[in-house]
Structure 1
Amino acid sequence: MTELVFAGPSGVAILCAYAVVMLLIGWYAGRGGSTGTARGYFTAGGGLGMVTLFFTLYATQYSGNSVVGYPPQAYRSGFLWWQSVPFMIAVIAVYLLFAPRLYVVAKQRGFVTPTDFVRDRFGSTKLSLLTVALMLWGLGNYVLEQLVAMGHGIAGLTGETIPYEVGVIGFIVIMLVYSWTGGMRAVAMTDVLQGIAMLVGIGALLTGVVTLTGGLGTLTTYLTETSPELVGVPDTADAVNWLAMIVMIGFGAAVYPHAIQRVYSARSERTLKRSLALMAWMPLATTGVVFVVGIAGLQLFPGLDTGASEQLVGLIANEVAAQNTVFYLLMILLFGGVVCAIVSTADSAVLAFSSIVAGDLYGRHVAPGATDRRKVLVGKLVGVAMVFGLLAVAWNPPGTLFSIFVLKFELIVQLAPVFILGLYWRRMAPGPTFWGMLAGAVVAGGATLLDLGPFGGVPAGLVGLAANVVICVVGSMAVTRTSRTERMGAVI
């Protein structure tokens, strides 16, 4: 392996440059005082245009886990990990199923937090609080994932010149400063920066990988000869798991709280639909590319154990950059883009977490008369406390990025019925919806804690979702429609 070209002062200089740019964006976004209201701070006043909305949706779906965590998973799983492409396609399909309709209702009702829809649609405090609990769990888990990815990404791409712990602390401070200053607008604008850098960078990374391995045909031949088990047809359990993951991630990622908040932030329904149309191309342009990168790692760096493979992207990026000046410059772009992607995804989750605590807990149950400025301040402080609390966990991460990634989906996917069925089915009642969501969470969480799944290749989260839907649908059909359900159903 060649010497790590990003090690030393050059790697530090690149990180500093991107940090300065993100801080400037935060300052610019916060000008004019538009972040003083809850709607202005948490949803950019519903004014995001098509380009900004596209990139912030892109950053929400393609996090640090996608760029840093997926190639190692492909390295360990082989062609079985091609499932990552169709499950990203499934996310877009589910977005198109409910997001435009949710936008119309949100615009009419002035929603700010993701839970606002649940409260307005069902009028149930206990259902709203359960929704809040699942959202906060998912968001906390999501931020933890990004902190781990941040450390691995910076350490790998600088050849350990910047250690894991230093990289995490430095960039969460940058993240908190610019998101505190500019709110959703700053987050979305930094997403544009990282999205452009990442798209160009991963395209260059693919070109460099093809050059290093001699082409896709040569790579496939190499794998067939050296690791035939990684290119063979999956067995029945793997095939079932493939399909189950597509369903679970398709519905789970589409109802991320920070994804729903981006739906609220669109300037118009047409803007939202155009952004989603562009997103339909991104699974192949992003997930497909990093899959190939991970597979190429088997030829470039054979024999890596699980821990070493977690830094695969950094190792390959340095190999590509060592070829010539053009690749070096493009890998600088990728380097910054990956770090920005991780940081921008983390700040999205922190912002959503802050809005839920400030609006749904503090603003409704602790201080119902609080001003918008007070709720925004509480949200900011809670976000800071949450990030530093999770640092203790990120210091000694509980598993690979993929294991963390799957864990959050077991519970977050239980939110899908309340948003998707709740938008379209007038008879859906709050009581059965609550008990269905609770049962789904208990089944999924209990099976995960007791290490009982997957069940014949089906993850526990999907088993819980099935129980959730059955209880919700059968129970709702058995009860009388409430006047509130009829009123909201007539609107949507």
Structure 2
Amino acid sequence: MDAVAVSVFVFLFLLVTVLGFAAARWRRADDMGSLDEWGLGGRGFGSFIAWFLIGGDLYTAYTFVAVPALMYAGSAVGFFAVPYTIVVYPIIFLFLPRLWSVSHRHGYVTPADFVRGRYDSRPLALAIALTGILATMPYIALQLVGIEVVLQVMGLQAGEDASWIVQDAPLFLAFAVLAAYTYSSGLRAPALIAFVKDALIYVVIIVAVIYLPTKLGGWGAIFDAVGASFDKFNKDNADAIATGAAAPKAIVPPATAQWAYASLALGSALALFMYPHSVTGVLSTRDRSVIRRNAALLPAYTFLLGLLALLGFVAIAAGVQVSNGQQAVPQLFENEFPSWFAGVGFAAIAIGALVPAAIMSIAAANLWTRNIYKAFLKPDATASEEATQAKVVSLLVKVGALVFVLGLPKEFAINLQLLGGVWILQTLPALVVGLYTRWFDRWALLAGWAVGMAWGTWLAYGVEVVGKPGSHFGGPLVAVPGTETKVYIAVLAVIANLVVTIVLTLLFRAVGVAGGEDETRAEDYAADVGDVGVEDELDPHAPSHT
């Protein structure tokens, strides 16, 4: 344990803790007793705040650990995260302003709210809500995994001979802090903390990609070292690679992995803004133009992500030796940076977990409250009761994530998060297509969702971990039958989803199945601040909104 690094880390962690609780008074309403205020921050964030909030929401601590870990491990498709975060912004530029408009016109808080109103189907809305919660839970768990990795490298976890309570005490403390200020401040807490988180991340990554290459002979020498390391591994493990017991390492994907790379990038781009926490960040904004401006500005994070991914190669060139690739970047910081700056780097990663974890827990709580609790358990719930229910559930969601981290193997949480991408993409036909047309039948959408969920899960279950015959959930890719070409499971599943939906829609239309009543109108999808029914930033001193 390095006392200087730990001191800097603790100072910065305490700083964001103070900010988290102070956020309860930042832009505070007289009454936080509504989901509009607690769960969406008053729906009033402008471009500046939204850029930090949405960026902090999407680029998580696990991103900053896992992406360079893939590069460190020699994954040929490990760089897919960069093109997918380039592709995603033109996509959201098109459909998210429409979702913002119809949600603000009708007071929708969750994507499932929109689906219920659009298709007049509580079962379909329930399916969307459950999918969102299911996909979000392991995502929150991985934020805690990111914190745990940093604690391990810093030496803040007791040895394996200590009791699990002592060993994981720092993680319990981080969890308690996160839970407390999310409960009191709602979405305002991660919005305020995101300023510190993003500033730290930018400083650390930019310094790292300038400073570290100067110590290692430049980028040319780094790539040469990586190429030599991968060649040596492939030569020494030729027999294991030939039998499938080991995966080859490469910088550029071979021909058989190119479809895997492309489908991972496209599928991930389509799925990213299906996640409830992404929608929550978008619906908290003041007007449609905020979303468009952020779609143009957020690629700055993609540039940062590309630099971050290269740190996995820097770790190889620097001789970092870790059994868990997720520790590669934290260990690189400890080995190569002065102690005080290593502490800044550790804090950046840990704080980078707090922002998305808070937003994810709020989004999951909103789904439970609006689309399960109020829809099925207590239809007459008041706005205050909704807010109270959401606060409690946000705590329970974090407890569930903590159980994932402490009670289950880390690989299980990682595999479930990969499966979460498969699941959440099955909401695309109802949510995104529904923003443009109501041609799909509501029961056909439900059947397509069920087929996509079941088939995608079954395909993922059949993927073995490399070198572990008989294992399951070994990754997000599956080979196309009769070939060695692999593709992203989520893309195959959503194609099946769409095929079933289209075929059954034609059938149900032919036999005259009732389609329900659409509560939205064409003009709702272009509504903006100032139009009838669309408020400007909610008056923080008005009574609770229903």
Same fold (TM over 0.5): yes
In the aligned structure 2, how far is the partner of 1:93 from the partner of 1:65?
24
In the aligned structure 1, how far is the partner of 2:489 from the partner of 2:506?
26
* 1:375 aligned residue (352, 368, 386): 386
In the aligned structure 2, how far is the partner of 1:58 from the partner of 1:301?
32
* 2:313 aligned residue (295, 304, 309): 295
AA paired with 2:314?
Answer: A
In the aligned structure 1, how far is the partner of 2:133 from the partner of 2:520?
29
Deviation at 1:433, TM superposition (A): 0.9
Using the aligned pairs only, state the percent identity. Answer: 19
In the aligned structure 2, how far is the partner of 1:269 from the partner of 1:429?
29
Q: What does residue 18 of structure 2 align with?
A: 20
Q: Report the more deviating stretch, 395-404 or 242-251.
A: 395-404
Q: What does residue 255 of structure 1 align with?
A: 274
Deviation at 1:466, TM superposition (A): 0.8
* 1:147 aligned residue (144, 163, 184): 144
- Is 1:111 the equivalent of 2:108? yes
- 1:312-331 counterparts in 2 under 5 A? 312-322=328-338, 330-331=341-342
Q: What does residue 97 of structure 1 align with?
A: 94
* 2:254 aligned residue (206, 218, 235): 235
Deviation at 1:129, TM superposition (A): 1.0
Q: What does residue 325 of structure 1 align with?
A: none
In the aligned structure 1, how far is the partner of 2:428 from the partner of 2:120?
18
AA paired with 1:423?
Answer: L
Q: What does residue 172 of structure 1 align with?
A: 175
Q: Is the alpha carbon distance of 1:47 and 1:246 closer, same or farther for their aligned partners in structure 2, counting shifts above 3 Å?
A: same
Q: What does residue 428 of structure 1 align with?
A: 440
Question: Quick check: which has more Rg, 1 or 2?
Answer: 2
Bigger helix fraction: 1
CA-to-partner distance for each residue in 1:245-264, whole Å, 9 max, x for gaps? Answer: 01211111121111112221
Q: What does residue 390 of structure 1 align with?
A: 401
Q: What does residue 408 of structure 1 align with?
A: 420
Deviation at 1:483, TM superposition (A): 6.2
Q: What does residue 372 of structure 2 align with?
A: 361
Q: What does residue 285 of structure 2 align with?
A: 266
Q: Is the alpha carbon distance of 1:92 and 1:4 closer, same or farther for their aligned partners in structure 2, counting shifts above 3 Å?
A: farther
CA-to-partner distance for each residue in 1:55-88, whole Å, 9 max, x for gaps? Answer: 1110121011111221111100255422221012
In the aligned structure 2, how far is the partner of 1:206 from the partner of 1:400?
32
**TM-score (normalizing by structure 1):** 0.91
Q: Report the more deviating stretch, 41-50 or 9-18.
A: 9-18
Match of 2:32, SS state, is: helix
Q: What does residue 474 of structure 1 align with?
A: 503
What runs of 5+ residues in structure 1 fail to find an aligned partner? Answer: 323-327
In the aligned structure 2, how far is the partner of 1:247 from the partner of 1:440?
17
Deviation at 1:34, TM superposition (A): 4.3
- Is 1:311 the equivalent of 2:323? no
AA paired with 2:447?
Answer: W
Deviation at 1:479, TM superposition (A): 3.9
In the aligned structure 2, how far is the partner of 1:97 from the partner of 1:155?
42
* 2:214 aligned residue (202, 211, 218): 211
- Is 1:282 the equivalent of 2:301? yes
- Is 1:442 the equivalent of 2:437? no
Q: What does residue 39 of structure 1 align with?
A: 36
AA paired with 1:29?
Answer: W
Q: Answer yes or no: is the 8 Å Cα contact 1:100–1:273 preserved in 2.
A: yes
Q: Answer yes or no: is the 8 Å Cα contact 2:143–2:357 preserved in 1.
A: yes
CA-to-partner distance for each residue in 1:129-179, whole Å, 9 max, x for gaps? Answer: 111111110111211111211211233245657987223211111111111
Q: Answer yes or no: is the 8 Å Cα contact 1:152–1:164 preserved in 2.
A: no
AA paired with 2:48?
Answer: V
CA-to-partner distance for each residue in 1:113-137, whole Å, 9 max, x for gaps? Answer: 2211111111111111111111110
CA-to-partner distance for each residue in 1:194-226, whole Å, 9 max, x for gaps? Answer: 112212221112223222322111111222333
Q: What does residue 352 of structure 2 align with?
A: 341
Deviation at 1:437, TM superposition (A): 0.9
* 2:228 aligned residue (225, 229, 242): 225
- Is 1:484 the equivalent of 2:495? no
Q: Answer yes or no: is the 8 Å Cα contact 1:197–1:333 preserved in 2.
A: yes
Deviation at 1:355, TM superposition (A): 0.8
Q: Is the alpha carbon distance of 1:345 and 1:317 closer, same or farther for their aligned partners in structure 2, counting shifts above 3 Å?
A: same
Deviation at 1:489, TM superposition (A): 5.1
Q: Answer yes or no: is the 8 Å Cα contact 1:432–1:475 preserved in 2.
A: yes
Q: Answer yes or no: is the 8 Å Cα contact 2:253–2:261 preserved in 1.
A: no
Q: Answer yes or no: is the 8 Å Cα contact 2:102–2:520 preserved in 1.
A: no
Q: Is the alpha carbon distance of 1:194 and 1:401 closer, same or farther for their aligned partners in structure 2, counting shifts above 3 Å?
A: farther
CA-to-partner distance for each residue in 1:297-344, whole Å, 9 max, x for gaps? Answer: 111135533x2x22112111123322xxxxx55544433222111011
Match of 1:227, SS state, is: helix
Match of 2:18, SS state, is: helix
In the aligned structure 2, how far is the partner of 1:352 from the partner of 1:209?
38
What runs of 5+ residues in structure 2 fail to find an aligned partner? Answer: 160-165, 235-248, 465-476, 481-485, 526-546
Q: Answer yes or no: is the 8 Å Cα contact 1:249–1:409 preserved in 2.
A: yes
* 1:245 aligned residue (264, 286, 304): 264
Q: Answer yes or no: is the 8 Å Cα contact 1:78–1:295 preserved in 2.
A: no
Deviation at 1:458, TM superposition (A): 1.5
Q: Answer yes or no: is the 8 Å Cα contact 2:49–2:191 preserved in 1.
A: yes
In the aligned structure 1, how far is the partner of 2:204 from the partner of 2:413?
22
Q: Answer yes or no: is the 8 Å Cα contact 1:138–1:409 preserved in 2.
A: yes
**TM-score (normalizing by structure 2):** 0.82
In the aligned structure 1, how far is the partner of 2:416 from the partner of 2:331?
22
AA paired with 1:468?
Answer: N
In the aligned structure 2, how far is the partner of 1:159 from the partner of 1:202?
23
Q: Answer yes or no: is the 8 Å Cα contact 1:147–1:394 preserved in 2.
A: yes
- Is 1:29 the equivalent of 2:26? yes
What is the RMSD computed on CA atoms of the aligned residues? 2.5
AA paired with 1:289?
Answer: L
AA paired with 1:351?
Answer: I
Deviation at 1:280, TM superposition (A): 2.2
Q: Answer yes or no: is the 8 Å Cα contact 2:83–2:265 preserved in 1.
A: yes
AA paired with 2:67?
Answer: Y
Q: Is the alpha carbon distance of 1:397 and 1:207 closer, same or farther for their aligned partners in structure 2, counting shifts above 3 Å?
A: farther
AA paired with 2:502?
Answer: V
Q: Is the alpha carbon distance of 1:464 and 1:443 closer, same or farther for their aligned partners in structure 2, counting shifts above 3 Å?
A: same
Q: Answer yes or no: is the 8 Å Cα contact 1:50–1:271 preserved in 2.
A: yes
AA paired with 2:347?
Answer: G
Q: Answer yes or no: is the 8 Å Cα contact 1:441–1:464 preserved in 2.
A: yes
AA paired with 1:99?
Answer: L
